[in-house]
Amino acid sequence: MNPRTWNLKWVAAFAAAALVGAVGVIAVLTVMGGDDGQATAEQTGETTPTVEPALSTAEPPLSGTEEATPSAMEPYPYYPRQIPTLAPGYVVPEKRACPDSWQRVSNDLLNYSLCLPSDWGILDEETGERSTKLATRELTTKLLSPEGFPYPVGVPLDKLLQDPGSNLIWIQLSTASPNAGMACDAEPRPPLGSLPAVGCEVRFNYSDSGRQDFRSDGRMIEIDIVAPLPNSELDPVTSTARFGLHVAVVGSENAMEAHGKTLSQILDSLEGQP
């Protein structure tokens, strides 16, 4: 046999074997890596983290002993705010007198007033003392029970409200926009003075950052009440949408129990006029 012919046959055989081997390697890699040629998590022993869906704010309100789990996207419950309507032809009744030794706090912009015991008051946020002004035109007014004065300026409110040695109550009176929401589902409740009202109560605990974590077994309580505001200067002349008054009351269980009777008197003293 010609040596040259013998060599060429061996070269051809070697090339064919190499081609078959390459095809086999490619097939193995394809099986290991899936469609994109990469190894699967099952074969490498790695695990892929599961992303839990964020809780929807459209979930029904909690009841009984269920607990509210804060969502990373929406940490607070959300319910549409309801503003009661005044009866057609509603006339603001004559203003009632405050109880003895109480004082009247009024808001000429929002057209409301209420009575406070002499040791309660409007917080002067610059000095921490009770404000000497009993009439205001602010969109938001903050009231404190006697335990809040003098207020330590610079200290977060949640720290004081959680103090087990204090029965501090915080009340905020602010505008209630028809387009805003609330942390609980308001239902009809007894009137505030002569004004129809809706309200609800929600429990929560403060987190280390001061955020409200709403849960049915929380030791803190927030009471939310909404009432209409007759003749508020904020009401647009050309619109039927009216602003209301949002009353938020916050305190611990013990504080609510200690000041329960006084709180009821304060809320009942509300008038739809300064």
| Shared-domain flag, residues 217 and 105 | yes
Phi and psi angles of residue 182, each rounded to the nearest 5 degrees, phi first: -135, 165
Residue 93 in domain: no
| Shared-domain flag, residues 137 and 264 | yes
Per-residue pLDDT of the chain (274 residues; tens, 9 = 90+): 444 443 434 334 444 444 444 444 344 334 344 444 444 444 444 443 333 322 223 333 333 333 334 443 345 678 888 899 888 888 889 999 999 999 999 998 888 999 999 999 999 999 999 999 999 999 999 999 999 999 999 999 999 999 999 999 999 999 888 778 888 999 999 999 889 999 999 999 999 888 899 999 999 999 999 999 887 766 554 444 567 999 999 999 999 999 999 999 999 999 999 9
Question: Residue 206 maps to which CATH number?
Answer: 3.40.1000
Residue 263 in domain: yes
| Shared-domain flag, residues 32 and 110 | no
Residue 72 in domain: no
Tell whether pTM > 0.75.
no
* Tokens encoding 115: 């009575």
| Shared-domain flag, residues 247 and 160 | yes
Residue 105 in domain: yes
Residue 242 in domain: yes
| Shared-domain flag, residues 23 and 135 | no
Residue 171 in domain: yes
The Cα 112–Cα 41 span in angstroms is 66
Single-letter amino acid, residue 66:
E
The total number of structural domains in the chain stands at: 2
Residue 95 in domain: no
- Full residue range of the structural domain in which residue 215 is found: 79-86+100-268
| Shared-domain flag, residues 133 and 204 | yes
Single-letter amino acid, residue 170:
W
DSSP string computed for 30-99: HHHHGGGT---HHHHT--PPPPPPPPPTTSPPP-TT------SS--S--EE---PPPPTT--PPPPPPPP
| Shared-domain flag, residues 35 and 119 | no
| Shared-domain flag, residues 122 and 254 | yes
| Shared-domain flag, residues 235 and 118 | yes
